[in-house]
Amino acid sequence: MTVEQKQLPGKVRASPVFRQFVNDELLPAIGVSPAGFWPGLESIIADLTPLNQALLDKRDEMQRRIDDWHRARRGEAWDHDAYVAFLDDIGYRVPEGEPFSIGTENVDREIAEVAGPQLVVPVSNARFAINAANARWGSLYDALYGTDAIDEENGQERGAAYNPVRGAAVIRYATGFLDATVPLDGVSHADVNAYGLGRTDRGDAFVASLASGETVGLADPSQYAGHRGASGRRRFLFRNHGLHLELLVDPGHPVGKEATANLADVILESAVTTIQDCEDSVAAVDADDKVAVYRNWLGLMRADLEATFEKGGETMSRTLEPDRVYVDPGGREFALSGRSLMLVRNVGHLMKTDAVLDADGNEVFEGILDAVVTTACAMTDRRRDGMQANSRTGSIYIVKPKMHGPHEAAFTDTLFGRVEALFQLEPNTLKVGVMDEERRTTVNLSECIRAVRDRVVFINTGFLDRTGDEIHTSMQAGTVLPKEAIKQQPWILAYEDWNVDVGIACGLPGKAQIGKGMWPKPDEMRQMLDTKQAHPEAGATCAWVPSPTAATLHAMHYHAVDVRARQQALAKRKRAGLDDILTPPLADVGALSADEIQAELDNNAQGILGYVVRWIDQGVGCSKVPDIGDVGLMEDRATLRISSQHMANWLLHGVVTQAQVLETFTRMANVVDRQNEGDASYERMSDDYASSIAFQAACALVFEGCEQPNGYTEPLLHRYRRQKKAELAA
């Protein structure tokens, strides 16, 4: 903390950059005076800091007892019943109460009623944040043409110029989608010469004209929702499973003038919701970083955030899209938002920030500050010309990650209540998303939901963080399987089903989202199309995708699957078993060859280095990182957690040696250096391993991995990033 920190009304001290942001930008935007804000913040910090710390102490004590239990039984046969009884005895698992249904109210339809793709984006990057918000609507033609969803065989190659053969393949694909989604009465969309409107006693009706002169309507006329534009260039709007799609008819369009019925594009409602992230995809280690994060979130809520950048030698800018105004079949105008409904992900309970010091001069818990400041930013959410408010119900949506069990969920409920009181908001204005990514939350999921039952709007599964916690929790129990084998173990399959089962039983359908995790390969869209329909089929109302293009393609899955109907069917199945969930993914890896062990090490070390070098040297918390086979994967801290914990586990149990790990890191640093040769701002690690702060950070994540709280990477990343920033400033 700098010597410039200033005493504010009360006893807290704020860094100059944070104090200026709050006093000059944030508080005037919400009509709150500094004299009303700072003492209120101080009171929340003073009252809740001891509770927060006690919860962290409980985590450490629980892990210590689990470690001791495993150490005392090392070499003995696994006794599952004794293990579960032990977890119950120490309060790791709490008794499940009587059945209940959540009571959340004032939830926007995008969360309560509509199943669709969800984006997660670092709010620290204004351009990415705006692009994600604008991904509510996406061109299916562009998504198909520009990705491997359409193969490049038989003359269908992508190139610098438009390829009409590929374009024809795109239109055929889109036509098949339309026939399945908004089918015409007895004919294919491929048979249509023109689209238009007809009149009925109930108003406008969508009609399609055939070459014979015959006209037909939709197989289900109720799917037609409205239109906009005049004859010649017109957009027709439809609804299926709660999602919208739009046909753009334009004979003057380069594609439309050659296409059947002049169909220039098919526009899909794509990223229905977007999580603007302050956590795992962000590298924010000090007050300057935090203010940049908060300022972008404020700009999104005020709808005035703008990003200017260079692309192709030209200066370009991004702003938020306006609403889309249509005329319904009865002739009345209505508007649909041009933007995703935005949630904000705060950090968890662990980390602290130097943006504010408490009365004793200690850094305050970052999660407490996030709750206060992101709420204040969201209070500026309001209707602007041509833009609906982000939340039409007046709610503020905060996703809370990395909570361990019901008591931590209850603490979040208390924190949100205090923030509501500070800003004189109605109780339960702040809605919470509970991320089911820690083992103690999984096994107590219904009680975690009960603790926030009147404000919960979201639960989800996240394989990577959940696996990282699985490994760390059972670190002393034995050697874990290779990473790919862990994915096939009974615990992970039961975990995915358990989350949906509990969510349905607690009454989330119709009030809250049940989500699934990220598709990590932004360049592998055909594979995503082939596999990710499993998420809505599993009962998930949303699932994460890595890009706006992926959101448009994934939206087709929600047109194919009626998620509400799936949830009703799944409600009748037997709940997934906790015994499977509480079975660690352990195995004797002695059957692995030396080459197989080294390949696992290489894969982990390369992934760690590829992510960490950008985090430490450039402050990039999320990016497309090439894996060891040069396949680009969207990486954030969750990926890092599992890889570093996996290596730490094998090192602890003697599968590998410290010298072997270090040799692997040095060799893989050369690979990562090669993969980043085209980045002018990249700093090579292999030129001087000893002076590369990024290389040292990567090694520390493994060599100090067993001692990290719950296996989290944030404490070490923050330490080394601050060191790097100090070096750059010197």
Kindly tell me if the per-residue pLDDT of 420 is higher than 90: yes
Classify the C-alpha dihedral 481-484-490-491 as positive or negative.
Answer: positive
Beta-bridged to residue 356, according to DSSP, are 14
Q: 10 falls in which pLDDT band (50, 70, 90)?
A: low
Q: Which secondary-structure segment (H or E) carries 247?
A: strand 243-249
636: annotated active-site residue: yes
SS (H, E, C) 124-138: CCHHHHHHHHHHHEE
CB under 8 A, 24+ apart: contacts of 650-659:
650/479, 650/480, 650/589, 650/597, 650/600, 650/601, 651/702, 651/703, 651/705, 652/475, 652/476, 652/706, 653/478, 653/479, 655/479, 655/589, 655/597, 656/597, 656/601, 658/703
Q: What mean pLDDT is predicted for residues 505-533?
A: 97
User: For residue range 358-376, what is the model confidence (pLDDT) as tens digits?
Assistant: 989 999 999 999 999 999 9
| pLDDT at res. 592 | 95
| pLDDT at res. 559 | 98
- Contact criterion met (CB below 8 Å) for 648 and 705: yes
Q: Is 395 helix (H, G, I), strand (E, B) or coil?
A: coil
- Contact criterion met (CB below 8 Å) for 185 and 219: yes
| pLDDT at res. 2 | 41
List the catalytic residue out of 93, 345, 439, 614: 345
Q: What mean pLDDT is predicted for residues 683-696?
A: 97
| pLDDT at res. 384 | 77
- Categorise residue 229: left if φ over 0, alpha if ψ from -120 to 50, beta otherwise: left
Rounded-to-integer distance, Cα 370 and Cα 378, Å: 12
| pLDDT at res. 427 | 98
- Domain spanning 53-136+272-581, CATH class: alpha beta
Rounded-to-integer distance, Cα 324 and Cα 228, Å: 9
What DSSP string runs through 666-683? Answer: HHHHHHHHHHTTT-TT--
| pLDDT at res. 3 | 38
Beta-bridged to residue 235, according to DSSP, are 228, 248
**Can you give the pTM of this predicted structure?**
0.96
The overall average pLDDT reported for the chain is: 95
Q: What mean pLDDT is predicted for residues 176-182?
A: 98
Kindly tell me if the per-residue pLDDT of 290 is higher than 70: yes
| pLDDT at res. 200 | 77
List the catalytic residue out of 108, 286, 617, 636: 636
Kindly tell me if the per-residue pLDDT of 188 is higher than 70: yes
- Domain spanning 589-729, CATH class: mainly alpha
289: annotated active-site residue: no
| pLDDT at res. 646 | 98
**CATH domain 138-269 topology:** Malate synthase G - maily-beta sub-domain (2.170.170)
| pLDDT at res. 1 | 35
Q: Is residue 89 packed enough to be buried (19+ CB in 10 Å), middle (13-18) or exposed (0-12)?
A: exposed
Closest by CA to 500, choosing from 446, 452, 463, is: 446
138-269 matches 589-729 in fold? no
Q: What mean pLDDT is predicted for residues 580-608?
A: 96
| pLDDT at res. 457 | 98
Q: 386 falls in which pLDDT band (50, 70, 90)?
A: confident
* Helices marked H in 24-103: 27-30, 34-72, 80-89
Q: Is residue 666 packed enough to be buried (19+ CB in 10 Å), middle (13-18) or exposed (0-12)?
A: middle
Q: What mean pLDDT is predicted for residues 660-686?
A: 97
379 secondary structure, DSSP code: T
Rounded-to-integer distance, Cα 38 and Cα 124, Å: 25
Q: What mean pLDDT is predicted for residues 676-702?
A: 97
Q: What mean pLDDT is predicted for residues 652-661?
A: 98
Rounded-to-integer distance, Cα 531 and Cα 154, Å: 25
For the chain, the domains span 53-136+272-581, 138-269, 589-729
Q: 231 falls in which pLDDT band (50, 70, 90)?
A: confident
* Helices marked H in 379-480: 406-422, 439-442, 445-451, 463-473
| pLDDT at res. 311 | 82
